């Protein structure tokens, strides 16, 4: 709010001017001309914005991913301590669904009906969120920044309130496939992926770039079965010297430990969601009871779309580390924490763009008009009225000494189009105090 918006008028309002001001106030959302906060939608009061989420705080996807909601909440606390958004405090309610779609339905209905949230924010998981997207659409609840790269969120006609945030799995798979094809030309390639839209989307992207005669084995797993021995045996027997993983962090660690026990050592290429070095190093130590540590990650290829958490010269990393140390110092400072804070920044920025007294539709409109800056992301967002995907590409990296070190160009892509080097792609400058 600038100083003029709160300044007292020097003369009484005439009748036409008074009527105009009252009309503007009555129109509600997006109106920054009024200096007064009013309740403009469910979850919005004069002093608060309440949002909710379903998260795997326990269950098979919890390792690493259970940090995300805590990190988002830490960023919101930072915003609140700096005055909030138009003076409103962000209240973030996140419920444990154990990565079980039945639980997801229960907790999301509670958030909408009982807690009356303004929006569902960053609900995590493809199978889990698919269980509630139709319900959220029927209730016209903004479904913002789903924590899944499924292309299924990009259906503006069917799901007008639903938006992704992280790169689409197909897009990430295409960039990864190009890297594999260029770097490991002629080598035998195998896939191991989660048997849902996460893994299937990644495999689809890989297939668009890697010659089919070089793919010697395709193996799947389900997150309820931690025995990956049969799949890895098949990959080893097929002679795969490069294996691409679309796995959650816990299953990445299980894969690496199981393969080591078989003396199978291909070059590992791991999706961004399953290869955070700090998270993986901790899981290896835990699962092996100290026998295997972060050194086992050296040489793993992965991808990313946010600054490396080890890059202490990056203003966004410095900010997020400061917030981490202030509010959630007991958690590791890793890629999951960075993800949680970065997506929370996007939400705070969106609410600023939606206006002082926003309706739910105002938030949707701001995204569809392409008003959201990419913040710390290395690539731009794709938001428009016809595109509800988020970040449009990734950059490849190699893990060395516990850190992901970026290499080569940033690449962007579309689901149906080519992979293109993105000249000049970089994070946006950080605003003062990291507040939009």
Q: For the segment 197-233, what is each residue's pLDDT rounded down to a tens digit? A: 899 999 999 999 999 999 999 999 998 999 999 999 9
pLDDT of res. 39: 87
Query: Do 70 and 174 lie in a common domain?
Result: no
Residue 260 lies in a domain: yes
Query: Do 190 and 296 lie in a common domain?
Result: yes
Residue 20 lies in a domain: no
CA distance 326 to 383: 33
pLDDT of res. 193: 98
- pLDDT tens column, 311-362: 999 999 999 999 999 999 999 999 999 999 999 999 999 999 999 999 999 9
pLDDT of res. 7: 30
- pLDDT tens column, 7-49: 332 333 333 333 333 333 334 334 444 579 998 899 999 999 9
Residue 83 lies in a domain: yes
HEC string of 72-96 equals HHHHHHHHHHCCCECCEEEEEEEEE
Q: pTM for the complete prediction? A: 0.87
Residue 14 lies in a domain: no
Query: Do 121 and 100 lie in a common domain?
Result: yes
Query: Do 387 and 364 lie in a common domain?
Result: yes
Give 354-420 as a DSSP string: H-SS--HHHHHHHHHTT----TT-SS-B--BTTB---B-EEEEEEEETTEEEEEEEEEEE-SSS-EE
Calculate mean pLDDT across residues 53-59: 97
Query: Do 185 and 272 lie in a common domain?
Result: yes
Query: Do 93 and 206 lie in a common domain?
Result: no
Query: Do 233 and 258 lie in a common domain?
Result: yes
Query: Do 313 and 209 lie in a common domain?
Result: no
How many domains are there within the chain? 2
Query: Do 256 and 315 lie in a common domain?
Result: no
Query: Do 276 and 331 lie in a common domain?
Result: no
The CATH code of the domain that includes 196 is: 3.40.50.2300
β-sheet bridge partners, residue 190 = 217, 243
Residue 436 lies in a domain: no
CA distance 412 to 171: 8
State which residues form the domain around 195.
170-304
Residue 404 lies in a domain: no
Query: Do 294 and 208 lie in a common domain?
Result: yes
pLDDT of res. 11: 32
Query: Do 105 and 155 lie in a common domain?
Result: yes
- pLDDT tens column, 232-289: 999 999 999 999 999 999 999 999 999 999 999 999 999 998 999 999 999 999 999 9
β-sheet bridge partners, residue 48 = 89
Does residue 166 carry a pLDDT above 90?
yes
**pLDDT band per the 50, 70, 90 thresholds, residue 5:** very low
Tell me the CA end-to-end span of the chain in Å, nearest whole number: 12
pLDDT of res. 34: 54
- pLDDT tens column, 104-153: 999 999 999 999 999 999 999 999 999 999 999 999 999 999 999 999 99
| Nearest CA-CA partner of 244 in 197, 285, 207, 287 | 207
| Least-confidence region, from 87-91, 308-312, 346-350 | 308-312
């Amino acid at each position: 709010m600038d100083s003029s918006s709160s300044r007292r008028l020097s003369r009484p309002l005439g009748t036409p001017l008074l009527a105009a001001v009252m009309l503007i106030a009555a129109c509600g959302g997006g109106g920054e001309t009024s200096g007064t906060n009013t309740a403009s939608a469910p979850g919005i009061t004069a002093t608060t914005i309440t949002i909710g989420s379903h998260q795997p705080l326990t269950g098979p996807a919890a390792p690493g991913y259970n940090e995300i909601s805590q990190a988002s909440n830490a960023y919101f606390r930072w915003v609140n301590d700096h005055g909030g958004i138009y003076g409103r405090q962000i209240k973030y309610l996140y419920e444990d669904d154990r990565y079980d779609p039945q639980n997801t339905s229960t907790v999301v209905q509670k958030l909408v009906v009982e807690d009356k949230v303004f929006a569902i924010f960053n609900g995590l998981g493809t199978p889990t969120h698919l269980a509630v997207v139709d319900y959220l659409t029927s209730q016209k609840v903004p479904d913002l920044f789903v924590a899944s790269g499924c292309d299924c969120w990009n259906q503006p006609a069917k799901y007008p309130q639903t938006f992704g945030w992280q790169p689409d799995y197909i897009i990430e798979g295409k960039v990864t496939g190009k890297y594999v094809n260029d770097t490991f030309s002629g080598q035998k390639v195998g896939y191991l992926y989660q048997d849902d839209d996460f893994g299937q989307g990644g495999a689809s992207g890989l297939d668009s770039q890697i010659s089919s005669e070089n793919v010697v084995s395709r193996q799947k797993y389900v997150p309820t079965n931690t025995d990956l021995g049969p799949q890895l045996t098949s990959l080893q027997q097929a002679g795969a010297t490069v294996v691409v993983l679309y796995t959650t962090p816990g299953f990445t660690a299980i894969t690496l430990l199981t393969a080591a026990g078989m003396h199978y050592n291909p070059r590992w290429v791991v999706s961004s969601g399953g290869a955070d070095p700090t998270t993986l190093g901790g899981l290896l130590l835990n699962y092996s009871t100290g026998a295997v540590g972060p050194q086992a990650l050296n040489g793993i290829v992965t991808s990313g779309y946010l600054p490396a958490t080890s890059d202490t010269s990056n203003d966004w990393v410095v900010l997020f580390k400061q917030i981490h140390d202030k509010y959630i110092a007991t958690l590791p400072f890793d890629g999951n924490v960075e993800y949680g804070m970065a997506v929370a920044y996007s939400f705070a920025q969106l609410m600023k763009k939606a206006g002082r007294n926003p309706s739910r539709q105002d938030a949707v409109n701001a995204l569809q008009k392409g008003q959201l800056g990419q913040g710390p992301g290395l690539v731009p967002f794709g938001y428009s009225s016809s595109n509800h995907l988020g970040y449009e590409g990734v950059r490849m990296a190699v893990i060395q000494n516990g850190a992901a070190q970026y290499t080569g160009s940033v690449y962007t892509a579309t689901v149906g189009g080519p992979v293109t080097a993105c000249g000049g792609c970089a994070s946006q400058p950080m605003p003062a105090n990291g507040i939009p």
